[in-house]
Structure 1
Amino acid sequence: MLLKTSYSLKNRAYLLLFLSSIIPLITIGYISYISMDSLLNRNIDDGIRSNMKQIQISLSSVFTNLEDSALQLAMYNGKVADDIETYLDTTDILTKYEKKKSVIDNISFINASKPDIGLIFIYYANKHQVLFENQSVQQGFDPGQLPALADGINATFYGPHISVKAAHDSNVFSIARKVNLIEGADMYVYMETSMELFVNLLKSQQYELAVSSILVNDHGTIMYSQQHKDFPVGSSIDITRLSETGKTRGIRDGYYVFSEKGQQGWYILSAVDMKSYSSDVRKWMGKFAFFAIVSIVISLLLGLAMWRIVYRPLRTINREIKLLAHNKFNSQLKTTGILEFDGLLAEFHDMKSKIAELFKELEEKERKKRVIEVEKLLHQINPHFLHNTLNTVQWLARMNGQDEIDRLVALFTRVLHYNLGKEGGIVALNEEVEALQNYVDLQRIRYAYHFDVQIKIDPALLDVNVPRFIMQPIVENAIYHGLKDESGYIQIEASRHGEELLITVRDNGAGMTERDVERLLEPLSDEHKKVGMGIGLSYVRYMLDVNYGDRASMEIIGEKDIGTTFTLRLPISRALGKEELT
């Protein structure tokens, strides 16, 4: 048989306390982490995207302002366009001067109304000629050399780049818008606006994180960057991977990238260092881990304290069990100061006392049993010798035609065979009744039929088990001590009352006093040695006690000169655990 693996109570207590601490911590930590991560990241994302939206709107406004101003000069059939066309077509010096002055006045008007616009001129691409400039322009101007930011309708946006003014001292955004005049004339309106507004707007964005702003053209080329190491100007990114609503990973290792697309097709990006982005969550996780470790340590310390509280009572109980195992029943009860354990120890102490009493009771029953065996042995003769002798007597009686003697010896032989065959066993009620009938017939012959015996047995009870030789001593007592004349009778009944077998033996003899009953129940008393089979009522009482204990009883009620009634109460089913006499 395989024994189930046993585990230490101490280890189980530690494990359960550890699990009871760590599982709620993990659950709360996970839920808190998800909530904190979602809340913090959403706040960060919303803040970055709000700032980016502000930058995108402001920069789009700058380019829209450039485009609207350039459109005033490049508008087909407009006054400025007409003056430019006349200036190019005429050869009259005065006319040229007037038209030039008119165009420059319009340019000056735009400068005055929109002071953020700086350099303005008309570029005649066919001749690489700069016309109507409001400020000095570098020699060899070529818009093809400028960094293109985005393409619009008949216009190209540039920047950031160094101004093409002769005194190139600042970075600008610019636009070159095509002017449709004379067929074959490739002419553009060129305007610049300072980057100062854009730069100041970027500087005004306050982040608690390391956020870098990046300007990308409509082809993915970086035009401006605050993070030159990882996002150098001139390098490219895949703009098809940019998310319009969230952050993008993988554009550059170690960065989240947010994007906003401008009206002209360019992109403003915000690159956030991943470590900086999750720094608040990591700080929170560090604090949570610290408190989790402290909580687990406290739980283990509490588990150690609880184990000590439990271990001492368990050690006391274990000591009591070992004492009981060595049959030491007289140890004093020691309390632990813990109500539950003290109650358990008290119950155990009571149980130990009952076990000690039970041992004493069993020892007493064994002693009584040995007394009964000795008592029977004292009156027992060799059954083989007796049976052989009786058989010889019966054979001689038959040979001489003595039928009465033959019947008497036959009855006597059957009675002896039943009583001496097996001491103290369990038999069916019908066997006991049959042996009793033989004994009664034998006694009636002996007493010349001077008394009557009536036996009434419930047929349903004939197979009920009863101790062997339980009824004959009672009937024998009624014959020897009860009957007094020829009108005597003995009534024997066996009936069922609930789960009990009720056996009643009633006579109309001289009756018995309490002292008479006590004398009859004494083991090996001289009174019952003189009569019958030599076994008294004490045998009946002992057999009931050995086989049934408290579940069986014998009651004797006698009235002087009226008669005596013997009543046996036995359980229908024989009690388990009772020793069977053999």
Structure 2
Amino acid sequence: MARWLGALTEQLTLRKRIIFIFAAGILIPFIITTLVSNRTISVILSNNLNSGVQSNLHQVQLSLENTISNLNHVSQQLAYPGSVGKRLEQYLAAEQPYERAALIEDIQSELNLITFTNPTTGLVMYYFGEDGKVLFPNAGLREPFDPDRLPLLAGYYGISYYGPHISRDRYNDQYVLSALREVNLPGREDIYVYIESGFKLTQNILDSDNIVKTSSHLILDNDLRIAYSELPEAFAENSYFQADGGAAVPSDPSVTSGLTGNYYWFKGTSNQGWSIVSLIPRDDYEAEKRRWMQLMTTLLLLFLAIGLLIAVLLWKMVYKPLNQFNRDMKNVIHSRFDAPSPPNRIPEFHYLQQQFHNMKQQIATLIREVEQKEKRRADLEVEKLLYQINPHFLMNTLDTAHWLAVMNGQKEIDKLVLSLNRLLYYNLGKLGQVSTIREEIDSLRQYLILQQIRYDFEFDVRISVDDAVLDVAVPRFILQPLVENALYHGLNDEGYIHVDVKQKARMIELSIQDNGGGLNEEEIERLLHEQKTAQEKVGMGIGMNYVKRMIESHYEGRAELRIDSMPGHGTNVRLLLPYEEGDDA
């Protein structure tokens, strides 16, 4: 697990890591708490529900037991040897009509007294089992009386308890409990007293069940047969109450709850053996748990949203300084050392930003120092090359003037000295000064005059210059060294040199082309890229190196020196200098 988390976090960005850590820090403890509390809450809810249902069942059970006890008490008064029972015996034994009439009046008076002193007592009468006859009913019967059609609830000690069922009284449509007790008259075993007692109090207790509003109830007899059902569609009366899978519910009073179909059931058993069952739909039973789960889910989403919000805010607090550091580093990469950095309000990041700013200033200072040193070094090397070239040329020229003075007349010497003076005035100008293309061309012509006098040979040097670029400023002494190389290495008796200066887009192109022996690729590469060129012949590479270093120093990489050549096909040296409007000297 730890390796998996490590491999996962290695592939995540800082923002994703922060969000992942916050989400995990919130979700994991919350899920653990939810799982533990879910079990705890489930147990608590179940215990509370069970205790509430059992308490309600106990009240119903007490109500029924009181009703049954009252039926038993009243039936004792009506049985033999109770007062009414003795008068019933006298009535059955009387032969004279007037005796019977008097006894009937006495019996009815006592029955009225008993029912008056017991307000819950309803229909009262005597039943003769052999002939199905009914005597002394205190109300009209709904239909012929048949105890076998009543729902038996319990039976013991010669008393049968029925119900709840609709009263046999034709004027009473309420549910009642009833008792059928043997009178025990001497010599007569088929005489019973039948008494009904109101079920309304018990119904009120059932209806006042506030534990679950949708609960329903069953009353089971001693054999777990349904004597009364508030759900006749699912639990029909006179059927047996069964648990899931069709198994019979244990009659053991210690088994008080279970599941049957889509209902949870809770059972309370009386001392007489009958039972009260409360039925609660599974959805309603679990509704409280679902409400708790919904609450926990809502809290989870709320905590997760808060955690993600905190992660995003934290990320922004970290991201903004990091992004600023990134911009500062890019500015350093592009040599923008003076770009401003907004202050950071977080002390730690502000300290790092200040340290980075100090480092940036130190780097900028070092770069400026290095640039100045490199510029000074480049200027010194250019100056060194210039003084390498000029004395060499001057000595050769003076040597030529010496021999001409010996061998020829004053006219040639005058021409030589005049051109020499002009050329030396230009070439020995102050190092670093700029010139113009016009001055470079004039200096080149003086140089060619001196070379023609020196070698007594008419060079075929063609010069073409675009008038529009004559006054463009260029570094001093960059054209003559290139022509000199062409004279030494690219010109023969039938050769020519073509000097062409023109504007090309935003560049000034100076082209020196000859038709000499040309250069191979190795020689071109050496001339362009070696810092110090081997001087195999006089002037070879010195002038080219000087020009290359001069334009690098003056144009800082924006100028370009190109050599196009093939052995036997001549050489074309092109110097490309940047040019913008307003670059005129």
TM-score, normalization by structure 2: 0.51
CA distance in 2, matches of 1:245, 1:322: 82
Aligned partner (choices 294, 301, 305) of residue 293 of structure 1: 301
Q: Please, which of 257, 262, 265 is the counterpart of residue 273 of structure 2?
A: 265
**Do 2:153 and 2:227's aligned partners in 1 also have CA atoms closer than 8 Å?**
yes
- 1:250 aligns to 2:255 (yes or no): no
- Paired residues for 1:219-258 under 5 Å: 219-238=223-242, 240-241=249-250, 248-253=257-262, 255-258=263-266
In structure 2, relative to structure 1, the CA distance for the partners of 1:311 and 1:206 (3 Å cut) is: closer
Q: Secondary structure at the match of 1:49?
A: helix
C-alpha distance in structure 2 between counterparts of 1:342 and 1:139, whole Å: 102
Q: Percent identity?
A: 29
The offset of 1:333, in angstroms, is 11
Which residue is 2:290 aligned to? 282
Describe the superposition over 1:373-413 as per-residue Cα deviations: whole angstroms up to 9, x where unpaired. xxxxxxxxxxxxxxxxxxxxxxxxxxxxxxxxxxxxxxxxx
Contact kept, 8 Å, 1:150 with 1:217, in 2: the verdict is yes
The amino acid that maps onto 1:173 is: L
Alignment match, 1:175: 179
Deviation at 1:153, TM superposition (A): 1.8
Determine if the alignment matches structure 1 residue 124 to structure 2 residue 133.
no
Say whether the 8 Å CA contact 1:333–1:345 is kept in structure 2: no
The DSSP-based 3-state class of the residue aligned with 1:17 is: helix
1:172: Cα distance to partner?
A: 2.4
Change (3 A) 1:245 1:295: farther
1:403 equivalent in structure 2: none
* Whole-Å separation in 1 of the counterparts to 2:311 and 2:85: 93
C-alpha separation between the residues in 1 aligned to 2:74 and 2:230? 30
Match of 2:88 in 1: 84
> Which residue of structure 2 lines up, in the alignment, with residue 159 of structure 1?
163
Find the counterpart in structure 1 of residue 71 from structure 2.
66
Moved more, 166-175 or 15-24: 166-175
Q: Aligned pair in 2 of structure 1 residues 165, 309: CA closer, same or farther (>3 Å)?
A: closer
Q: 1:352 to 1:168 in 2, by over 3 A?
A: closer
Between 1:167-176 and 1:52-61, the stretch displaced more is 167-176
Question: Could you give the per-residue CA deviations for residues 421-447 of structure 1, whole angstroms, max 9, x where no partner exists?
Answer: xxxxxxxxxxxxxxxxxxxxxxxxxxx
Report the alpha carbon displacement of residue 63 of structure 1 after superposing the two structures with TM: 1.2
Cα 1:242–1:145 change in 2 (3 A) is: closer
**Hey, what's the Cα distance between the residues in 2 that align with 1:55 and 1:6?**
67
Name the amino acid aligned to 1:159: G
Partner deviation per Cα, 1:69-114 (whole Å, 9 max, x = no partner): 1122224x44444443444455455555555554444323322221
Matched, 1:49 2:54: yes
The Cα shift of 1:65 comes to: 0.4
Match of 2:318 among 310, 323, 337: 310
- C-alpha change, 1:162 and 1:290, in structure 2 (3 Å) is closer
1:141 counterpart = 2:145: yes
Using the TM superposition, name which of 115-124 and 306-315 deviates more.
306-315
Name the amino acid aligned to 1:300.
Answer: L
Match of 1:501 in 2: none
Corresponding letter in the other structure for 2:281: D
Greater mean deviation of Cα atoms: 281-290 or 36-45: 36-45
SS of 2:234's equivalent in the other structure is coil
Q: CA deviation at 1:116?
A: 2.2
Structure 1 residues 208 and 90, CA gap change in structure 2 (3 angstroms):
closer
Distance 2:298 2:342 in 1: 42
Q: 1: distance between equivalents of 2:174 and 2:306?
A: 66
The DSSP-based 3-state class of the residue aligned with 1:157 is: strand
Unaligned segments of structure 1, at least 5 residues: 358-582
- 1:19 is displaced (CA, Å) by 1.0
Q: Distance between the aligned counterparts of 1:228 and 1:138, measured in 2?
A: 23
Give the CA deviation at 1:64: 0.9
Letter in 1 for 2:249: T
* Superposed displacement of residue 191, structure 1: 0.9
Match of 2:347 in 1: 339
Do 2:224 and 2:251's aligned partners in 1 also have CA atoms closer than 8 Å?
no
Q: What RMSD in Å do the two structures reach over aligned CA positions?
A: 4.2
CA contact (8 A) 1:247 1:256 kept: no
Q: Distance in 2 between matches of 1:196 and 1:323?
A: 93
Unaligned regions of 5+ residues in structure 2, if any? 1-5, 243-247, 366-585
Name whichever of 57-66 and 5-14 sits farther off.
Answer: 5-14
Shift of 1:351: 9.1
Contact 2:180 2:195 in 1 (8 A): yes
Compared CA separation, residues 90 and 53, structure 1 to 2 (3 A): same
Distance (whole Å) between structure 1 residues aligned to residue 261 and residue 105 of structure 2: 53
Distance 1:299 1:171, change over 3 A: closer
* Cα distance in 2 between the residues matched to 1:341 and 1:122: 103
Q: What is the match of residue 107 of structure 1?
A: 111
CA separation in 1, counterparts of 2:269 and 2:256?
14
Q: Contact conserved, 2:159 with 2:181, CA < 8 A, in 1?
A: yes
Quickly say closer, same or farther: Cα 1:208–1:137, change in 2 above 3 A: closer
Aligned equivalent of 1:189, options 193, 204, 228: 193
Query: Residue 249 of structure 2: SS of its match in structure 1?
Result: helix
Secondary structure of the residue aligned to 2:260 is coil
**Alignment: residue pair count:** 354
Q: Is the 8 A contact 2:57 2:276 kept in 1?
A: yes
How many Å separate the matches in 2 of 1:221 and 1:79? 36
1:211 corresponds to: 215
Equivalent-residue separation in structure 1 for 2:50 and 2:205 (angstroms): 19
| Distance of 1:297 and 1:244 partners within structure 2 | 51
Cα separation, 2, equivalents of 1:289 and 1:243: 41
> CA offset at residue 155 of structure 1?
0.6
Maintained 8 Å contact 1:209/1:277: no
| Distance in 2 between residues matched to 1:200 and 1:334, nearest whole Å | 82
Alpha-carbon distance in structure 2 between the residues aligned to 1:14 and 1:158: 71
Task: Show CA shifts across 1:345-375 (max 9, x none).
Answer: 6667889999999xxxxxxxxxxxxxxxxxx
1:190 Cα offset (Å): 0.9
Structure 2 counterpart of 1:73, one-letter code? L
Residue 159 (structure 1) shift: 1.6
Matched to 1:152, the amino acid is: Y
CA 1:81–1:330 in 2, change beyond 3 Å: closer, same or farther?
closer
CA contact (8 A) 1:256 1:272 kept: yes
Please list the CA deviations of residues 450-490 of structure 1 after superposition, one character each: whole Å capped at 9, or x if unmatched. Answer: xxxxxxxxxxxxxxxxxxxxxxxxxxxxxxxxxxxxxxxxx
